[in-house]
Structure formats: structure tokens, C-alpha cells
A and B are shown apart, each in its own frame.
Chain A
């Protein structure tokens, strides 16, 4: 079935089309969810369940290409993951408006080129919850600071500060693991 036809039928609420979308994207979306919930299988499944319900409910409003659908679904799933976090108070998104402003830190992009995805995840998982979420949202899922600020209920400046702190800590982790020297 062509993409357009699948979308059209999913908009009409046809179960077969919904299933096709689910089969095609659920593995990728599960990977996205797990990044935000530390590999918690039960919680991931709950988020996936609620996220897909929202996707099928709101698919009528979707207009776009296949890649657009993937990004649109990712956003819904990430939003759902953040909401779960909020509800279960796993991450307390406190708006630190007075968070100390740090200088912009730069990371060597080549390090990420050199590492495998799992190795990168291992390093990022060593960060604190708030920094990790900001890092994922900014570098992997492509959110802007403004969007991060809105979703996490913080200011843009706080988002920038957190990202810089994440970079500083990540640099430290790379140094400890002697990853940077390998890269060079």
C-alpha cells in the first residue's frame, strides 16, 4: 500500500492502516522513548501505548511526507514521555531562572563520528536527568532552545545553560574514558 493511501485510510480510522503505521514506526519510536526513560520497559510500553493513541486520534491533522510523519510521531512520543516524567515526578523540571550563565562550550564533532550509537548513549546516560533530556532534545531530536524551554517549562537561557553544562560534563566523561585521544 502506498504511503498516501495508508495515511488516507488511517485518517478514516481503518484498523489495517493504523496497524501498518504501527508496525513500520514502532521500533524506531520505542528507541526514542527508551532514551528518555532509561530503558524502563514497562514505562516505555505505557508511553508508546498512550503516544500511539494520540497519534491515531490526531492523524487527521497531519499533512506531509513520510519523513514528516516520522518527525511528527517522534514529537508526540517525546511529548508523551516528558508528560509521564512530570506525572511520576521522575524529573522535576524546576525553572532555574537564576541558573548561573556559562560560556558557550564547543564539543569536537569528530568524537561522535568515531563512536557507535550505543557508546554515545552510555556516555550521555552518565549525565544527570535534566542535562540528559536537554542534550537528547537538542542534539538528537532536533528541538530548538525555544521549544525545549516551552516543553520543559523553563526559560531559553536555562536551556542554553543546561546544554553547556551537559557539554562540559560530557567532555569530562570523554576524558575519563580517554575517548577524545582515540578520536585524534
Chain B
């Protein structure tokens, strides 16, 4: 051993100063050109990476702004519709013949709402008011005075008053009788004439409840198989996801504090999803994927609201029915529920989505691992919804007779997925991902619009 150390020392010294002559300049020229190429390659890689990120961000912004503009259009259309209803009412009541039409409507409403003297008296009042308006308008016509801006605002007020009165005429009032014996009667009473007339109720001081969902946590085992080629790498990904989350209602500012406290109760959401997708990463590290997903969500909301000594109303988004020609017609949407001093409501919803999800992104090559940043966007090819109000004492539904409701709605999807993949051998690698997704679009106003998902999980990848 000592000899080895001595030999090592002697040989190291002897060879340390040894130099070999060769054409240094020629090799340096080669080296310099390679270094230049490397530098330009690194720059183009950086450019590509930047381009990939910018492209993903732009796509996200584009989709989001499209969604926003779509939302504005929808809101505008809704506002326009409600204004249209009001203006139609006012225009028709300002004309001579409209009074009789309205009287006819009142009579029809009287027939549609039996045993409701309060509502009838309200309707009679509204007829008187319309007569007054008619007189005012004829005076205006006689004097041939041009309508000024201030008059327009007056007209608006009058229209609002008419709207309120008409809305009152359609609105349910609290029954003093025991509700259970008159369940079917009260159900009939709770018929909603038209959903768009609910918008007329907006002018009244009703506490409106906004639905809020916090993020869901997914447990995501997934499996993928892939093939590596010279130009691109392909991967088939099978994924199963399970989720559980809490949901809660948040009252709008200005809501009665008792109502607000009562409504800030949690409900639960459970669900699962299966998906299959194909992902390809090109030589320039741009990644594309396309897949199909089936997602089932179940929601349950149960709540007790105390209004103190007064009664109140709240709007919920659920399934309801109305009786048309003696038959029940089921619908989904907002239903205004009148609440007792202590109101208990529970309802369940089931959503089944089939989604097409596409994504584009960029693969960052780390030391050994790969990091993928993907922008996800897609749409919902089918959304079947079924919901029922389980218990609302005197309201809406008879649980035994309530059918489940199926509706189709189309939503947009926008998300961001980050994936990391670490190889253990040439064929096997372990991956992890985290994804944030928002469901956008024309879903139910209060329940499923803008549902946010935060998911994460591990995957085992096998390369063919």
C-alpha cells in the first residue's frame, strides 16, 4: 500500500508537467464555432420557452375575456329582458285597450290563484293605479307636451311601481294555516308563472343569496403509457380522480344579518372523474393534449335560517315544477322561497358532465426531470343535472312525487396544469401534477357556475 502511494506520487509528478503538442488554433476554431452555435441554440430555446408561456397566457386571457364579454352580454340581455317586460307592461297599460287586457289578466290570475283574497285586492289596486296612469297619459297627449328627461324618470318610477304591483300579484304569500295538510294546495299556489317574471322581484327588498364554492381537493392516481420518437413523444394518460369539498352560501352585502349568519352554513360536494387523454411533446418542447372526461358531482345543502319574528324570502337554484293544464311540468332554475321565522331547507343536486379538454403548453427540461406547464381549455359536451328540494316544510315540493329533472347546459372550461416527471430508469418514471380549473359559462346562476377545482396527484409513467 505504501509502495502504491509512492508510485502514485512519482507518476503524478512525472506526468503533471507533461504536455502534448498539437494544433491548438485549429481545435479552438472548432470549439468557438460550437460554442457560438450552443449560445444561439440556448437563446432560441429561451425564445421558444418565452413564446410558449406567452402563448399559454394569451390563450387563457383570450378565453377569459371571451367568457367575460359573454357574461356581460348575458347580463345585458337579462337586464334588457326585464326592462322589456316592464316597458311592455307600461306601454300596454298606457293605451286604451290595454286596460281591458290587464283586467282580463287580473281575472285570469284570480282564477289561477284561488283562496287568495289578499292577492286579489292587490290586483284591484293595481288596476286602479293603471287607470290613473291612463288618465295621466291622456292628459299628456291632450296638452301635446313633449316628453322631457325628467318625465322619463317619472315614467320609470311609475313603471317600477307597476312592476312591483304585478310582481306582488304573482308572488306567494305566507299561509297562516298549517302547511302540512295543504301541501298540494300550497304546491299549486307555488306555481311559478314564468321564470323571467322572477326578475321583476329584483326591485323588491329581497335578500339574494350568492352561491360560493371553495376549491375542491382531488386525489388523483393516474397511469400513462408513452412512446418516445425522434420528433415527438406521445403519451396516453388514463386518470381517475375523486373529490370532496365544502360549499357555502354567502349572502350579498346588505342582507339582513340574521339571514346572513343563517345562510353561511356549509354544505358538501363529492364527486369523481374518469378521463383519457393523449399528450404529445414536440421536438421544440411544445406540448399538446386532447382528451375526454366524465365528471360526476353530487351536492347537498341543508340549512336552517332564523328570521326572528319576521318572515323573509330567499332565492334558491334548484329543480321545481309548476302545473300546466293539470300536469306537472318540471324545470330548473331560480325559485323564490318564502321563509318562516325558522326556515329549514335541504336540497341535493347531481351534475354529470362530459367534457372535451384540450391543452397546450411547454416542457422545461430540468437536470433529469421534466417540468410541463399546460393551459387547459375545453367545453362541456353534455351536462345533465338532476336536483330536488328535499324539505321545505310548506314550500314547493312533495318529496314522494317529485321527479328527478334532467337538463342540458353547456359550460366552458379553463385551467392550468403543472406536471413534473422524474425518470427512474429508461422506461419508468414517476410524475406529479397540480391543476387549477374553473368551469365557466352559462351554468346555473347560483349553483354550478364558476366552480373551481384544485387537484393534485401522482402518476406512474411507462414508456414503450
Chain A contact residues, CB within 8 Å of chain B: 13, 15, 18-19, 22-23, 26-28, 30-31, 34, 41, 44-45, 48-49, 52-53, 56-57, 104, 106-109, 112-113, 117, 120, 138-140, 142
Contacts and interface: CB of A to CB of B under 8 A. Distances in A.
Given A117-B15, A117-B18, A140-B11, A49 B3 contact: no
- A-B pairs with lowest CB-CB distance, top 3: A27-B19, A109-B6, A31-B20
Contacts of A49: 27, 30-31, 34
Contacts of A112: 7, 10-11, 14
A36 to B, nearest CB: 12
Given A15-B32, A109-B6, A30 B39 contact: no
B12 interface: yes
Range, interface on chain B: 20 to 34
B21 A27 contact: yes
A26 B27 contact: yes
B3 A106 contact: yes
B14 A30 contact: no
B45 interface: no
Contacts of B22: 26-27, 30, 41, 44-45
11 contacts: A15-B35, A19-B28, A26-B24, A27-B22, A45-B30, A53-B35, A53-B38, A108-B3, A109-B10, A112-B11, A140-B11
Contacts of A113: 10
A86 B34 CA distance: 23
B8 interface: yes
A104 B19 CA distance: 33
Nearest to A48: B27
Given A18-B35, A53-B31, A30 B10 contact: no
Contacts of B1: 104
With most chain B CB atoms within 10 A of its CB, the pick from A26, A41, A56 is A26
B16 to A, nearest CB: 8
B11 A22 contact: no
B3 A107 contact: yes
With most chain B CB atoms within 10 A of its CB, the pick from A28, A45, A109 is A109
A102 to B, nearest CB: 15
A147 B24 CA distance: 31
Nearest to A34: B20
Given A19-B28, A49-B31, A107-B7, A28 B19 contact: yes
A138 B20 contact: no
Contacts of B32: 15, 19
A78 B11 CA distance: 17
B87 to A, nearest CB: 72
B42 to A, nearest CB: 10
Nearest to A27: B19
Given A27-B24, A30-B22, A142 B30 contact: no
Contacts of B14: 112, 117, 120
A26 B20 CA distance: 9
A158 B39 CA distance: 42
A26 B28 CA distance: 10
